[in-house]
Structure 1
Amino acid sequence: MTAFDELMVFERETQALARVAGRLSWDQETVMPRGAVGQRAEESGAMEAVLHARRTDPRVGAWLGDARAPDAAGEAQLRLIRRSYERTVKVPADLATALAKLTSRSQGIWAGARAADDFKAFAPTLEEVVRLKREEAAALADGGDLYDAMVDDYEPGAKAADLAAIFDEMRPRLVALRERALGATEVAPVRGAFETDKQLRLSRDLAALFGYDFERGRIDLAVHPFSSGSGEDVRITTRVSETDPFNCLYSTIHEVGHACYEQGIDPAYQLTPVGQGVSMGVHESQSRIYENQLGRSRAFCHYLYGRMREVFGEIGVKSEEDFYRVVNRMHRGYIRTEADEVQYNLHIMLRFDLERALIAGDLQVSDLEAAWNDRFKADFGYAVDRPANGVLQDVHWSVGLFGYFPTYSLGNVYAGCLHAALRREVRDLDGQLAQGDLSAATTWLRAHVQQHGGLYPPREVIARACGAEPGAGPLLDYLDEKFGALYP
């Protein structure tokens, strides 16, 4: 075999082991017994030690030096393997193992603190997570910005300063939209009891409608909905509130966007670096366009209104137009995942600024709750009522995902660009959506984004799909048009 062939055989085994490690995390968040937390931390640490050893194996460096790619896909494989190797060799094995153990244990401590509304119970563990993540970032940064090194894990090539500039461009128009909407008569939410079994049945129907392949996936319940896996095993979770069916339904559609990205990648790339989503920003572009531009469109709400009445009976909403307004209602609230399309990005900007300050050492964990509450009051105009609705609401920091949050809003920006291109190229999109037919939209996204996996760098994926470099303009124009009409 050539050096390239030997490298790809070795990499395929590494990728398979990484999928096993991912399944441990899925199990922990869905069905693992509570008493297994300590043992799972040891298991996760052991798997990370094995993976770190493989990713830093000196043979990988030698193969990379000798390998010649047979084609463009091979060149992408070498680019991604080299990137992983060069980053991973900078991180000491004992630090990688310690982080895996700590974040596995930390997740359970966070969940308990969240349930008890007690940030102080979580703070010492979070301090340790921040300390180890700063060590990791320092190893990766080579004297550069620590937060940039963290962002690069989730959006290769992105810099905090560039993200901040995008957010500065977005903020004035988002704030103006919010102030206009919240000054209008508030739209009432749905009222009533919506049985769990019926919500889950409808969520499965919607998942299939949006193209999720249940032969290669499943839906389970979790505290914080997520998608896990790639290729032939891509699982999602959702959550249920019997007084708010949209929490379940739109969480499901959102995670289906992630899952369809992974299921839609060319099978020839399976268990290789190219055979997975290229970045979290591109990943979020899929989940957000599925959930919002498609799932919350006036046309699709026409369809969903009828389906909900079939499943639940009368839901206290008199017309399709009223239903569309309820689905897209802008209202006061604390929870990022329940926020409307406008305020969602303001939630992300809050987290982006706070975690940058944490990593820079300008903010201490002991002061984080107060800083969160002060910033929330300044940005949203009302006080956080309890930690579970504030600093403890997200799982990300407990598992060390610093640098992840900004990719949510970057994904919204990418989704805005993709939506504009989709509407240019798919005729009668609204007519199809009104019939519950997502096939043309999801086929376009699969062809232009999903099938490529990691073949192209993130911004290039979006530029190729849209015919132009991505920017915030299309998203802001879409939001102005949509919410300007909803709240004239």
Structure 2
Amino acid sequence: MPAYDDLLAFQRTTEALAQVAGRTGWDQEAIMPRGAAPQRAEEMAALEEVLHARRTDPRLGDWLHEAHAKDAVADANLRELQRSYARNRKVPAKLAAEIARVTSLAQGQWAAARAAEDTAAFLPVLSDVVRLRREEGAHLAEGGDAYDALMQDYEPGGSAATMAAMFDRMRPRLVALRQQALDAAPAPHLSGHFPKAQQLALAQEIAAAFGYDFDHGRLDLAVHPFSSGSGMDVRITTRVDEADPFNCLYSTIHEVGHACYEQTVDRAHLLTPIGNGVSMGVHESQSRSYENQMGRSEAYCGWLYGRMRDVFGDIGVASERDFYRAVNAVHSGYIRTEADELHYNLHVMLRFDLERALILGELEVANLEEAWNARFLSDFGVAVDKPSNGFMQDVHWSVGLMGYFPTYSLGNLYAGCLLSALRGDVPDLDASLANGDPSPATAWLGERVQQFGALRTPEDTIRQATGETPTEEPLLTYLEAKFGDLYG
């Protein structure tokens, strides 16, 4: 199969260069000096020019035409390469490089404006990002729905209509359950001082217990936690609030879920088109499984309560049960990444509707903050007090990730399906979690999902792991049982 072999050899270099670009992005958000931003933007644009040229090289078309799949791995590689080649040929090289340059600059400007609560400083660059992504979406859609076209970068085969229908089915039960919880007695909350160094040491301990391999990764600080890389170099970040250790610990567990997915992909697929996670929906199913179904379970919270008392002393709650309630407290907070499981998907629905309206030209950036604040008040019953608690809280729009947000809820849906199958296969799961050992669950996810990378399509990945077609029902049933117990 000379055509297939030539294709994979060429693509190996492209995949390696893409990893370099990703690591450059990690450096920008984690340790780059702020004054380097203008130069870094030019570097990112230059890398994107090289990558775009390789991804649209005419030889790819010839090889794809001549190559034939000899097995499932070759078939999947050809599927992913064909999708990438078709997509990138629609986008002009100059536009691809300009998006890379502007979003690189925008990330730093967003971080500075967010810290200063300065909307006016952020809107001009956000307008540039939205303009460029609209243009890219129009090229990709070729007369169709531009938002759907952008979604394919994060969830191949997904569509706004499918997501909207999913949200319509989920919203009534989520809202009803939320109201019942809010009407009940409030949950306890932690109190005290939680020093940064001790939080980070505990975060590293927990990350290792969840299977994160520090020989092929590292934990750093960032404004917005994220995971970056694949294969043999997968890095995570977290953030620290000395009054709220849950922010650090659960952000770390979440990002470990992403990172373990990438670290567990079969090394035979390294630097090939299927050598990473198949979609952001499936990726989020891993991070949400680690964070919520394991990390916020009553069994694990019992262990974590004792460990946190060892590290921090008195933490303001008197029992394992109260700690479990504090970890899962339901409240209408501003911040998506700190939201309880009932509010989380409502946060995503807000962002999905607004970013879709931005891309389709139904909402302009100048009116975004007002639209956000009005929608938040309507959905959560709380008035936004400052931009960092509102439309400027997430990094996604500044770096052009329009079409990404709905995959968070899709990941929750997938995680609900996986939990149902996992508990059937690992009946003593709670006993292990109660000892601070999530390895039976992480091993099951590694075997059923993570090792395959992008060998299968997103939905088929979950179907093969669970034996069922994914729906929202297992997630909603899990939430009703969990919060019904917590709040009576």
CA apart distance, 1:71:
1.3
What amino acid maps onto 2:476 in structure 1? Answer: L
CA apart distance, 1:7:
0.5
Partner of 1:316: 316
CA apart distance, 1:142:
1.4
2:383 is paired with a residue whose SS is: coil
Q: How far, CA to CA, are the matches of 1:188 and 1:296 in structure 2?
A: 15
Retained in 1: the 8 A contact 2:113–2:119? Answer: yes
Structure 2 residue 371 is matched with structure 1 residue 371: yes
Partner of 2:162: 162
Q: How far, CA to CA, are the matches of 2:427 and 2:163 in structure 1?
A: 34
Retained in 1: the 8 A contact 2:188–2:325? Answer: no
Q: How far, CA to CA, are the matches of 1:68 and 1:211 in structure 2?
A: 37
Deviation string for 1:145-174 (max 9, x for gaps)? 011001111000001001000000000011
CA apart distance, 1:228:
0.2
Partner of 1:130: 130
Listed as ranges, the matches of 1:462-473 within 5 Å are 462-473=462-473
1:396 is paired with a residue whose SS is: coil
Q: How far, CA to CA, are the matches of 2:332 and 2:72 in structure 1?
A: 49
Structure 2 residue 353 is matched with structure 1 residue 353: yes
1:331 is paired with a residue whose SS is: coil
2:229 is paired with a residue whose SS is: strand
CA apart distance, 1:332:
2.6
What amino acid maps onto 2:164 in structure 1? Answer: A
CA apart distance, 1:69:
2.0
2:220 is paired with a residue whose SS is: strand
Partner of 2:433: 433
Structure 2 residue 116 is matched with structure 1 residue 116: yes
Deviation string for 1:438-480 (max 9, x for gaps)? 1111110000000000000000000111101000000000000
Farther off after superposition, 446-455 or 181-190: 181-190
Scaled by the length of structure 1, the TM-score of the pair is: 0.99
CA RMSD of aligned residues (A): 0.7
What amino acid maps onto 1:205 in structure 2? Answer: E
Scaled by the length of structure 2, the TM-score of the pair is: 0.99
Retained in 1: the 8 A contact 2:126–2:397? Answer: yes
Farther off after superposition, 157-166 or 107-116: 107-116
Partner of 1:459: 459
Listed as ranges, the matches of 1:470-485 within 5 Å are 470-485=470-485
What amino acid maps onto 1:383 in structure 2? Answer: A
Partner of 1:416: 416
Partner of 1:228: 228
Retained in 1: the 8 A contact 2:332–2:381? Answer: no
CA apart distance, 1:436:
1.2
4+ aligned runs moved over 2 Å, structure 1: none
Partner of 2:34: 34
What amino acid maps onto 1:127 in structure 2? Answer: S
2:131 is paired with a residue whose SS is: helix
Listed as ranges, the matches of 1:204-215 within 5 Å are 204-215=204-215
Aligned pairs, how many? 488
Partner of 2:104: 104
Partner of 2:394: 394
What amino acid maps onto 2:44 in structure 1? Answer: S
CA apart distance, 1:427:
2.0
Structure 2 residue 63 is matched with structure 1 residue 63: yes
Structure 2 residue 314 is matched with structure 1 residue 304: no
Gaps of 5+ in 1: none
Partner of 1:83: 83
Partner of 1:445: 445
What amino acid maps onto 1:161 in structure 2? Answer: A
Q: How far, CA to CA, are the matches of 1:357 and 1:331 in structure 2?
A: 28
Gaps of 5+ in 2: none
Q: How far, CA to CA, are the matches of 1:442 and 1:382 in structure 2?
A: 37
1:228 is paired with a residue whose SS is: strand
Q: How far, CA to CA, are the matches of 2:303 and 2:192 in structure 1?
A: 21
Listed as ranges, the matches of 1:242-281 within 5 Å are 242-281=242-281
Partner of 1:193: 193
What amino acid maps onto 1:93 in structure 2? Answer: A
Q: How far, CA to CA, are the matches of 1:119 and 1:170 in structure 2?
A: 33
Q: How far, CA to CA, are the matches of 2:357 and 2:86 in structure 1?
A: 27
1:83 is paired with a residue whose SS is: helix
Structure 2 residue 329 is matched with structure 1 residue 336: no
Q: How far, CA to CA, are the matches of 1:427 and 1:351 in structure 2?
A: 37
Q: How far, CA to CA, are the matches of 2:112 and 2:436 in structure 1?
A: 40
What amino acid maps onto 1:141 in structure 2? Answer: A
